[in-house]
Amino acid sequence: MIALSSDCLLFQMASGESLPLSAEMISVELVNGAAACNYDEEFVSHAANAVFHYFKHELGRMSVTLGEFAEALEKVLGGFKLPPRGATCSAFKVGRFDLLELAESGGGCELLFFPRLRSELRHRLQNSPELLRFSGLRNCVKCLAGAERWCARCQQLHEHIVDFLRTCLTAETAPPNCTLLVE
C-alpha cells in the first residue's frame, strides 16, 4: 500500500471510492463550485482549510466522508453572519484591520504590539460592527517573531494573538452579534 501524503485526507465518496485530497484541492473545488455563489471566494477557501485542519489535526482522522466534510463546512459557514457575495458593505458593518501593519508600525516589538492591538480593537468596536476582520495574521506573527519561516515560536505567538483577541472581545462591550474573524 502506498503511504498517504502528510497534507492529504482520504475523502470517501458515495460510490465507495476514496480520493486523497489536500486542503488546497478542496478549496479550489469549492470556490469553483456552487458554494462560491453565496460567499466571497477567499472566505470559502479559508473555511475549507479550517475544516480540513480540524479533521486532520484536531481529530487525527486519516479519512472522512464527503458528507461529513460538507456538513462541517456548512456549520462553519452558517456560523458567520456574512453578507452574500456582491452585497454592499453599507448593509453589513465590517470592521477591518491589517495585523501586519500594526506589527510593522511598532518595529516588530511584541511589547508595543499587544497594547496597540487592544486599542485598535476598542476603536473598531465603537462603530458597532457585525464582523471584526483582522487579516495578515501569519505575516504579522513572522514579523513579531523575527522569523523567515514558520517555527514552533511562530505557532505559539499565533495562538497567543488569537487568544488575546478573543479575551479582549469578551472583556469589551462588543455588540451582541459581533463575530471575530482572524485570518
Which DSSP string do the residues of 55-118 spell out, in sequence order?
A: IIIIS--SEEEHHHHHHHHHHHHHTS-PPPTT--GGGS-EEEEEHHHHHHHTTT-HHHHHHHHH
39 part of a folded domain: yes
What's the domain count of the chain? 2
SS3 (DSSP) at 128: coil
87 part of a folded domain: no
User: Could you tell me if 108 and 70 lie in one domain?
Assistant: no
Chosen domain end from 19, 49, 78: 78
- pLDDT (tens digit per residue) in 135-147: 889 999 999 999 9
Quote the cell numbers at residue 72.
Answer: 462541517
pTM: 0.56
- pLDDT (tens digit per residue) in 48-97: 888 888 888 888 888 888 788 888 888 887 776 655 555 544 444 667 78
Residue 118: closest CA among 80, 171, 73: 171
- Pairwise pLDDT comparison (162 vs 80), residue with the higher score: 162
88 part of a folded domain: no
Residue numbers of the domain that contains 105: 93-182
86 part of a folded domain: no
- Per-residue pLDDT, 1: 52
